[in-house]
Amino acid sequence: MADTDEKPTFIADAMLGRLARALRMLGLDTQYRPDIDDSELKMVALREGRVILTRDHEVADTGLPITVLLIESDHVEDQLLQTARAFHISPGGGLFSRCLICNVEVEDAPPSEVRERVPEYVFATQSRFSRCPSCGRVYWAATHVEHAREWLERVLGSGGGVGRARVRWEGARGRGRGRRRTRTSGKTGRRTVTTLRKNLFVTGRPGIGKTTLIERVLGALDVDAGGFYTSEVLDGDRRVGFSIIGLHGDSGVLAHVDHEGSFRVGKYGVNCEDLERVGVRAVDQALKHSKIVVMDEIGRMELCSTAFQEAVGRALDSPKPVLGTIQDRTNPFLDSVRARPDVEILRVNTGNRECLVPVLRDRILELLGE
Ligand SMILES: [Zn+2]
């Protein structure tokens, strides 16, 4: 499904009304017919080449040449993220091009024709309107549209580009109707082709919960992880430095206000010896003995040690999944990490940090072949 400008079309089962609405906001043709039963749902999908979105395992086992995405979560944000990742969907030009009620593409409508149907102040302040040719509903730009756009961008903010696709391709047939439906028919046994980038980094503003996210993913995984994390050193409630802690025991001082070193970041003197003694060693031990390499975090302080940067490189080059955090800054080292084709950066924000836990867990399980 990658690299095609053809957009998928969907039919959502009765439990997925909010997901259907969200996909329609994105301009995606999504049928939602809670009145029909499972067999009719499958027939519509088969006839029109639609992907079935369902929470029901039994629906997923169709035995028919239908593509089914088994939706894993009860939360619409997770559902949308899962769908977006499976089908490489990102908020694009199609936003709000479809009636949220009828799923029909809206048309531009001259103001004179919608005057009766919109409040007076809206008519006075808006110049562009669109209208659903099916139900006649009139749409215009307004605050709630802006909020919906922000919500979509927040949920999909981690980038819909590459993702696991737990999709069953059973011969993606699609001789559908409509001008968008140009997919070739008759192919059987088509498989998903997804590239799983194995080096996963989260980024985001300080305090957003990146380390907590990593901890929760590790907690959800229950597989042996090595590597290191960093943690604040507090004096009362004042931050005076950072410690570096190996997942298997070692620890040291990464930076401290009282550390006398020539390499300084802000008010902190960076302790390159401990960075190498703990950090480099933890990474190399993880490469030897663990299933996952954790690096939380890589940032400016790590610039002081070439040995450390080389250890990061070894981890990224290795076949093992890397789960890390990376500072949201520009410098040659961080830029070179981000530029690697096997690195995926996920931006954490308050809107997506909850749904990233299962996403990252599943990605790593898939990378581990479990
Ligand atoms: Zn409509």
pLDDT in tens, 198-237: 999 998 888 888 998 999 999 999 899 999 999 989 998 8
**16 lies in some domain:** yes
Q: At which of 168, 189, 209 does a domain end?
A: 168
Residues 114 and 242 in one domain: no
For the record, the structure tokens of 68 come out as 């089914």
Q: What is the pLDDT of residue 185?
A: 31
Whether 170 shows a pLDDT value over 70: the answer reads no
Task: Calculate how far, in angstroms, residue 104's C-alpha sits from the geometric centre of ligand 1.
Answer: 6
Task: Calculate how far, in angstroms, residue 294's C-alpha sits from the geometric centre of ligand 1.
Answer: 49
Asked whether 223 and 294 are in contact (CB, 8 A), the reply is no
Task: Calculate how far, in angstroms, residue 92's C-alpha sits from the geometric centre of ligand 1.
Answer: 21
Residues surrounding ion ligand 1 at CB below 5 Å: 99, 101-102, 132, 134-135, 137
**333 lies in some domain:** yes
pLDDT-wise least confident of 16-20, 164-168, 267-271, 308-312: 164-168
- Cα separation, 274 vs 67, whole angstroms: 52
**180 lies in some domain:** no
Give the residue numbers spanning the domain of 225.
199-367
Nearest to 84 by CA among 348, 364, 359, 321: 359
Q: What is the pLDDT of residue 4?
A: 41
- Cα separation, 97 vs 107, whole angstroms: 8
Residues 18 and 157 in one domain: yes
Task: Calculate how far, in angstroms, residue 163's C-alpha sits from the geometric centre of ligand 1.
Answer: 32
Average pLDDT, the chain: 82
Q: Are strands 322-326 and 30-32 parallel, antiparallel or unpaired?
A: unpaired
Number of domains present in the structure of the chain: 2
Task: Calculate how far, in angstroms, residue 195's C-alpha sits from the geometric centre of ligand 1.
Answer: 38
Whether 149 shows a pLDDT value over 70: the answer reads yes
Residues 224 and 315 in one domain: yes
Mean pLDDT of 35-43: 85
State how far the alpha carbon of 356 is from the alpha carbons of 83, 228, 361, 369, in Å: 14, 21, 8, 20
Residues 262 and 115 in one domain: no
Residues 225 and 353 in one domain: yes
- Cα separation, 256 vs 233, whole angstroms: 8
Task: Calculate how far, in angstroms, residue 131's C-alpha sits from the geometric centre of ligand 1.
Answer: 8
Nearest to 159 by CA among 337, 323, 347: 347
Task: Calculate how far, in angstroms, residue 30's C-alpha sits from the geometric centre of ligand 1.
Answer: 13
Whether 197 shows a pLDDT value over 70: the answer reads yes
Task: Calculate how far, in angstroms, residue 129's C-alpha sits from the geometric centre of ligand 1.
Answer: 14
